[in-house]
Structure 1
Amino acid sequence: MRRRPPPEVGVAWLVGVARHKLADHWRRAEREQRGLRIVHGLPVEPEDPWDERLDAMIAQEVLAALGPHHRGALILRYLDGLPVPDVARLLGRTVHATEALLVRARKAFRENYERLEGRDV
């Protein structure tokens, strides 16, 4: 990004950033859960760690299969944690249009996730 002019940000770059952000999120969530289990005197290991990994793999596959506009909006809003007005600004949309986009993106993600979750993995 220090080059002049800065390189163009493309879908591949966004997907790479999303992968890293998603991995960071899972690590952070696992550390938090581990700490809560320790505090409450519960077993430190989850009952079935493969369930968590399968869920993560399905979520990653679903995210990758979404269209770039849905994927980008979801990544910015939920993985990067940006408020809707910032997402709108980055996507060059109005706040209202971005909210509508997020509704459609969440619906597409949920439908695809449920479809993939139901298949034999």
Structure 2
Amino acid sequence: MTQPRARPDPAFDLLELYESALPEVYGYLLSRCGNRSVAEELTSETFLGAVGSCRKADAPPVSVAWLIGVARHKLADHWRRREREERGLRLIHEPDVTDPWTGELDALVAREVLGRLGAHHRAALTLRYVDGLPVNEVAECLGRTVHATEALLVRARTAFRKAYHLKGGQ
């Protein structure tokens, strides 16, 4: 009776390639999305996704070209998420302000500032503060981890606060 042979884990090949492939994958993503934080997030998603994919029985050999292909798919997923966020924001019902003395001018300035923010900041702030969703549900809606969503909310609040004060809000 022959003993079963353990197949070597292909993730070790990925680990050996990591240091040389990281700058190429990051550079590929950064040149296409133009945003460092998005490129960093997509690079980490690429390598995490590659670990799972390379362990499949029909996976091709691990190489930089294969990793760029994984990155291309992650970038396409990001663009699709972003489009869904934009679409979702257009569908959100704006609240009815009936009493002009309850800060309507501030609400108008806030809406204008929110409209000028990037789609990812606008989506996160709207889901969290306009729709009142908890962070874990915001993360789920945006297709992000809770940790990444918390970081996004910090950046979004900072951008909003700065733009709001420049616009003349209190």
Q: Report the TM range for the smaller structure's normalisation.
A: 0.5 to 0.7
TM-score by length of 2: 0.45
TM-score by length of 1: 0.62
RMSD across aligned positions (CA): 2.3
Q: 2:106 aligns with which of 38, 50, 55?
A: 55
CA contact (8 A) 1:15 1:64 kept: no
Q: Which residue is equivalent to 1:95?
A: 146
Q: Secondary structure at the match of 2:103?
A: helix
In the alignment, structure 2 segments of 5+ residues that lack a partner are 1-82
Equivalent residue letter for 1:68: A
CA contact (8 A) 1:73 1:101 kept: yes
Q: Which residue is equivalent to 1:69?
A: 120
Give me the whole-angstrom Cα distance separating, in 2, the residues matched to 1:92 and 1:10.
10
Give me the whole-angstrom Cα distance separating, in 2, the residues matched to 1:10 and 1:92.
10
Q: Higher Cα Rg: structure 1 or 2? A: 2
CA displacement, residues 66-116 of structure 1 (integer Å, 9 cap, x when unaligned) = 000000000111111111011111111100000000000000000000000
Q: Which has the higher contact order (CA 8 A, sep 6+)?
A: 1
How does 1:19-58 map onto structure 2 within 5 Å?
20-21=93-94, 23-24=95-96, 26=97, 49=101, 52-58=103-109
Q: CA deviation at 1:56?
A: 1.2
CA contact (8 A) 2:85 2:123 kept: no
Give me the whole-angstrom Cα distance separating, in 2, the residues matched to 1:13 and 1:78.
15
CA displacement, residues 33-62 of structure 1 (integer Å, 9 cap, x when unaligned) = xxxxxxxxxxxxx8xx3x822211110100
CA contact (8 A) 1:73 1:105 kept: yes
Q: 1:82 aligns with which of 100, 119, 133?
A: 133
Residue 10 and residue 105 in structure 1: after superposition, are their counterparts in 2 closer, same or farther (change >3 A)? closer
Q: Secondary structure at the match of 1:56?
A: helix
In the alignment, structure 1 segments of 5+ residues that lack a partner are 1-7, 31-45
Give me the whole-angstrom Cα distance separating, in 2, the residues matched to 1:99 and 1:105.
10
Q: CA deviation at 1:12?
A: 5.0
CA contact (8 A) 2:85 2:142 kept: no
